[in-house]
Amino acid sequence: MVCDRCISTVRRLLNDLGYEVNSVRLGEAVISETPAEDELHDNADKLRQDGFELIHKNQSALTEDVKSNLIGYLKRIENEVDPPKLSAFLSDKLHRNYSYLSNRFSKLEGTTIEQYMIRLKIERVKELLTYQEMTLSEIAWKLNYSSVQYLSNQFKKVTGQTVSDFRSELDELDRKSLDAIR
């Protein structure tokens, strides 16, 4: 997944800007000193040039935390037979009531957490289809879909094309990285 590469890139960028980096995880970087306000603007521009955004506001930070945890949840879905419910997972990770997270996310993003998660899953389906190493049944099982038909219907609803059409157009693929889903 692209997320580890993003973490590595942010660490390098912050080091290049002269900061001592304490930690970097998806959606958050901790540095040893607090930059001045004018430095923040300059650094935000430099980060933006490499496709990253500096988040100042608490609400924006919360939605970015939700997004990064949704990517983590997607990994968990793939690796566990019986993953927790999405609402329980997010509440546990972010130490907030799920309805609060859901309301904040919907207001700022214009979509629900569930719809965003569906788009993430469909992008992952596209990725797995691109590798051509798994059948659609295996992909449905791996991503915790109740049936291949349900996955196929959701794929068509989100992408506007059938899985078969997608497979036949792999050369003209228009995929997004998971952390670029908006």
159 and 109, same structural domain? no
pLDDT at residue 143, rounded to an integer = 96
Domain count for the chain, please give it.
3
What phi-psi label fits residue 177: left (phi over 0), alpha (psi between -120 and 50 degrees) or beta?
beta
DSSP code, position 24: E
82 shares its domain with 133:
no
Contacts 24+ apart (CB under 8 A), 171-176: 173/126, 173/130, 175/123, 175/126, 175/127, 175/130, 176/123
Q: What is the average per-residue pLDDT within 147-174?
A: 90
The range of the structural domain enclosing residue 122 comes to 116-180
Confidence tier at 174 by pLDDT (50, 70, 90): low
| Domain end call among 67, 94, 113 | 113
Give the max Cα distance, the chain: 54
Assess whether 120 and 165 both reside in one domain.
yes
- Domain stop point among 113, 131, 151: 113
133 and 85 fall within a common domain: no
Amino acid found at 63: T
Residues 7, 49 within the same domain: yes
Residues 17 and 38 in one domain: yes
pLDDT of residue 1: 35
pLDDT in tens, 123-142: 999 999 999 999 999 999 99
Residue 166: give its domain's CATH number: 1.10.10.60
Long-range CB contacts (within 8 A, 24+) of 24-30 = 25/68, 26/68, 26/71, 26/72, 26/179, 27/61, 27/64, 27/65, 27/67, 27/68, 28/65, 28/68
Q: Over the stretch 21-67, which tens digit does the pLDDT of each residue have?
A: 888 876 677 787 777 777 877 877 888 888 777 765 566 788 999 99
Say whether both 105 and 139 belong to one domain: no
Instruction: Tell whether 49 and 63 lie within a shared domain.
Output: no
> Are 123 and 170 within one domain?
yes
